Amino acid sequence: MTFLHKYPKAAKVAKANFIVAFIALAIGGFFGFVQALHRTDVFRGFFNSGEYYTLLTGHGVLLALIFTTFFIAGLFVWGVTRSLEREPENMTFTWSWFWLMTIGLVMATVAILGGLVPDSSIRAAVLYTFYPPLQAHPLFYIGLALVLIGSWMAGADWFWSYRKWRADNPGDRIPILTFMALFTMLMWYVCTIGLALEVVGLLIPWSLGWVTEIEPLLPRTLFWFFGHAVVYFWLLPAYYVWYAILPKLSGGRLFSDSMTRIVFVIFLLLSTPVGYHHQYADAGISVGFKFYAMATTLLLLLPSLITLFTVVASMEHGARQRGGKGYLKWIGKLPWDSPAFVGCALAGIMFAAGGFSGMINASMNINLLIHNTLWVPGHFHLTVGTAVALTFMAITYWLLPQLTGRKLKHKTMALIQPYAWFLGMTLMSNAMHRAGLAGVPRRTAEPQYSGFDFEPIFGTMAEMNWQIAIGGTILTISLILFLWVVVASWLAGEKSDKPVDDHIPKPLSGVEHTPAILDNMKLWFTLALVLVILAYSFPLWEMVADGIFEPGALPRPS
Amino acid sequence: MHIHKFEQFWIKLSFVLIAFFIATVVYGFVAMDLKVIGDHATIDPQNLADTKFGNPGVYEATDNSKAEYEVYVTAFQFAYNPGTAQPIVVPANTRITFYVTSPDVLHGFDVAGTNLNTMAIPGQVAKFTTIFPEVREYGIVCNEYCGPAHHVMEGKINVVPKSEFDKSNLVE
């Protein structure tokens, strides 16, 4: 008996979400490959430099917004169903959020890909941050709004299951897999207030022509109200895997239940009031609020450092169970031949590197050296592009058998895949960081200028360009391996009652040691809202006091 | 609640690290004068002509206690004025305040390889002060996507010796 046999309805929903996620991953990943060759001037024959921005929009939206959201939905359907031991309450409701998100994603994608059709009026080359006054077709904004509403309904679905479960189990603690999912969604509700206000309140009416002018700083600020917390919306599900599943894959068990819950509570509290750290270089926001955002951002290092401790301790425990000895020799006893383990572990190592460049980004005045340079995508390809994406891919090797009732095929390819990703990302990302230090801009089709040359501090521009192009190619090969293994296993894997060992052992320090207050969702949600109000009420008031659309700028085609 | 003694130690260490990072930034602010852009002024992006941005360039500062020269720059699709058609010429070892805005969409104003880096946001005036210590040329890069020809948007700053700075090119 595995998940599919116990909860066939939930398994179907999770699989549907994964299918959409992987299609988005395939298309978005291909665009990334084209970009890596284009901007480094290794090969520019696929598309012209104007179309580059359409591809870049597709890359960002399909990977950062669509792949992540759908994968997370599938993962949480699995985790909530499994840990509460109940199917979703109402399948019509469950399928309606899935289809709403899917319709929204198709609308947004049509708007983006319209940019590749000559003279098309349907365009959305506005990148995934869609800063006005660059204007996309209304389909783009309406599609994104539908995805957002669908994700809210998905969260409501899990809270619904939780309430029903609570009625049947009044004295029990929230199971850890549900706890982490619900706290992630609480954070999502807090941060998406900003996105909803921006898209529904400002951009949709503006793109439909109901208002002509827009004040660029206000939607930009609302975007970043949402835009940093969204990275934790991607990251917390990776933590979900590292806390709940990785210890088991290493042969051990979770180190501490209480620290796990504390970490998720801190993320709920601090994820949103940090948005100005994306706006350190913006005029119109006072230095004091930027400082507040910096302090909360750096405090967010705490839960990530605790995670580092807990995850490494859990892995060490696993390795010692497998006969590991010594201070460091136990590392060799970890299952380096298991694709799911290897992917998660390598993702964790890259996340540590990404964390270091993130500290530079967070440090206000130091940030100005690298703001909007290639350093920044170098950073987030380590975090979302590896810590999150590689973890999702790796855990698919363990989840897919549970959802399909089929064993994984092509285990060697599946094992090569995470190592290849790690290698490709090491090449690409170190070069992107260094190029950023020299001032090479991000989001630019041809970052080669006529009037001056970049002067790198370490290495040469040519060497960096080659590392980016070769790294991007290796990443693409890794992605193809992943998709190949998934499709082959899904369609032709050997059917089995127990296609994978899906038992998750209890933590070393269990829930009986965890203070009950950590489960008080109302308390933490309220506190999170208070911190957001402290950070945002005054600056937003200043921006709207002179009129919501003033000082107004005219829309420009994308 | 049970927290392992190693973990307690680790948490304390984490707090020290966080305090160190915040201290680094504050030290930069206070002792090295590494400021970030703040809230300066709003402006009507459709009527820049009535302001100094209508006649952009290098001005003699009105308040020379803070800076000797002021540079007004507009960033627009897909050039800087001044900066692209002719370079921004400023003297070395002199306090210079930049004012940057945009009449159309978001742009970046990044002096490549330095920490002079600001957004040009329609409706907002970015203000920052700096001193160029050496005589050399710098490239200006638009580092925020601003439309289909974003990648051709570039400019130049020429830092000349103080003695060779030609005041006849100042905007009156």
CATH number at residue A527: 1.20.210.10
Nearest to B21 among A283, A306, A359 (CB): A359
Closest residue by Cα to residue A142 from A96, A97, A180, A107:
A107
**Which of A46-60, A228-242, A507-521 is the least confident region?**
A507-521
What pLDDT score does B64 carry? 60
Interval A78-109: pLDDT, tens: 999 999 999 999 999 999 999 999 999 999 99
- Identify whether A483 is part of a domain: no
Q: Which residues of B touch A451 (CB under 8 A)?
A: 139, 154-156
| Catalytic residue IDs of B | 76, 78
Range of the domain at A284: 3-335+503-557
**Among B78, B106, B157, which would you mutate to test the A interface (most chain A Cβ atoms within 10 Å of its Cβ)?**
B106
Query: What mean pLDDT is predicted for residues A367-378?
Result: 95
- Identify whether A85 is part of a domain: yes
Instruction: Check A70, A141, A232, A392 and give the catalytic one.
Output: A232
pLDDT at residue A207 greater than cutoff 70: yes
Query: For chain A, what is the domain count?
Result: 1
- Identify whether A488 is part of a domain: no
What pLDDT score does A432 carry? 97
Whether residues B37 and A552 touch (CB distance < 8 A) is answered with no
- Identify whether A437 is part of a domain: no
Whether residues A298 and B18 touch (CB distance < 8 A) is answered with yes
Identity of the residue numbered B97: T
Residue A223 CA to residue B125 CA, distance in Å, equals 20
- Identify whether A381 is part of a domain: no
**DSSP characters over B45-87:** GGGGGGSGGGS-EEEE-SSTTT-SEEEEEEEETTEEETTTSS-
Do A471 and A40 form a contact (C-beta atoms < 8 A)? Answer: no
Shortest Cα–Cα distance, A450 to chain B (Å)? 8
Residue A306 CA to residue A309 CA, distance in Å, equals 5
Q: Which residues pair with B110 in a beta bridge?
A: B117, B141
Instruction: Please indicate if any CB of chain B lies within 8 Å of the CB of A355.
Output: no
Closest residue by Cα to residue A248 from A511, A509, A508, A504:
A504
Residue A26 CA to residue A33 CA, distance in Å, equals 11
- Running DSSP on this structure, what letter comes out for residue A174? P
Whether residues A443 and B150 touch (CB distance < 8 A) is answered with yes
- Locus of tokens 């309450």: A89
Shortest Cα–Cα distance, A513 to chain B (Å)? 5
Interval B55-107: pLDDT, tens: 999 998 876 666 799 999 999 999 999 999 999 999 999 999 999 999 999 99
- Running DSSP on this structure, what letter comes out for residue A347? H
Shortest Cα–Cα distance, B112 to chain A (Å)? 4
Q: How far is CA B57 from CA A261, A268, B48, B96, in A?
A: 57, 48, 14, 12
**Among B39, B77, B101, which would you mutate to test the A interface (most chain A Cβ atoms within 10 Å of its Cβ)?**
B39
What pLDDT score does B65 carry? 66
Identity of the residue numbered B13: L
Please report how the helices A229-244 and A339-362 are oriented relative to each other, as an axis angle in degrees rounded to 10: 150
Q: Which residues of A touch B148 (CB under 8 A)?
A: 50, 53, 125
Q: Which of residues 365-424 of A touch B (CB under 8 A)?
A: 365-369, 371-373
- Locus of tokens 């951009």: A203
Query: What mean pLDDT is predicted for residues A236-250?
Result: 95
- Domain ranges in chain B are 1-34, 41-169
pLDDT at residue B36 greater than cutoff 90: no
* Residue A103 in tokens: 């319709």
- Locus of tokens 């909803």: A196
Reduced to 3 states (helix: H, G, I; strand: E, B; else coil), residue B36 is: coil
Average pLDDT of chain A is: 94
pLDDT at residue B48 greater than cutoff 90: yes
Whether residues A287 and B126 touch (CB distance < 8 A) is answered with no
Q: Which residues of B touch A299 (CB under 8 A)?
A: 18
Shortest Cα–Cα distance, B80 to chain A (Å)? 13
Whether residues B29 and A302 touch (CB distance < 8 A) is answered with no
What pLDDT score does B134 carry? 93
The CA R_g of chain B, rounded to the nearest whole Å, is 20
Half-sphere exposure of A453 toward its Cβ, with a 13 Å CA cutoff?
6
**Which of A1-10, A490-499, A507-516 is the least confident region?**
A507-516
Reduced to 3 states (helix: H, G, I; strand: E, B; else coil), residue B138 is: strand
Residue A128 CA to residue A63 CA, distance in Å, equals 10
Rounded to two decimals, the pTM is: 0.95
Residue A451 CA to residue B83 CA, distance in Å, equals 11
Res. A543 pLDDT band, cuts 50 70 90: confident
Residue A274 CA to residue A279 CA, distance in Å, equals 10
pLDDT at residue A71 greater than cutoff 70: yes
Instruction: Check A39, A82, A123, A381 and give the catalytic one.
Output: A381
- Identify whether A106 is part of a domain: yes
Res. A458 pLDDT band, cuts 50 70 90: confident
What pLDDT score does A144 carry? 96
CATH superfamily, domain B41-169, is Cupredoxins -  blue copper proteins (2.60.40.420)
**Among A372, A511, A548, which would you mutate to test the B interface (most chain B Cβ atoms within 10 Å of its Cβ)?**
A372
Res. B4 pLDDT band, cuts 50 70 90: confident
Res. A511 pLDDT band, cuts 50 70 90: confident
pLDDT at residue A195 greater than cutoff 90: yes
Q: Which residue of B has its CA nearest to A127?
A: B145
Helices (H), A43-137: 49-59, 68-84, 91-113
> Peptide bond preceding A309: is omega within 30 degrees of 0, i.e. cis?
no
> Exposed (0-12), middle (13-18) or buried (19+): which is B103, by Cβ within 10 Å?
buried
> Exposed (0-12), middle (13-18) or buried (19+): which is A152, by Cβ within 10 Å?
middle
Residue A258 CA to residue B4 CA, distance in Å, equals 11
Active site residue A317: no
Instruction: Please indicate if any CB of chain B lies within 8 Å of the CB of A459.
Output: no
- Running DSSP on this structure, what letter comes out for residue A65? I
Residue A318 CA to residue A537 CA, distance in Å, equals 47
Instruction: Please indicate if any CB of chain B lies within 8 Å of the CB of A125.
Output: yes
Shortest Cα–Cα distance, B106 to chain A (Å)? 8
Q: How far is CA A503 from CA A241, A321, A341, A402, A506, in A?
A: 14, 16, 15, 11, 10
Res. A551 pLDDT band, cuts 50 70 90: confident
What pLDDT score does A547 carry? 83
Buried b or exposed e, range B11-49, using 16+ CB within 10 angstroms: beebeeebeebbeebeebbeeeebbbbbbbebbebeebe
Instruction: Check A228, A253, A277, A433 and give the catalytic one.
Output: A228
Average pLDDT of chain B is: 92
- Locus of tokens 């992006």: B45
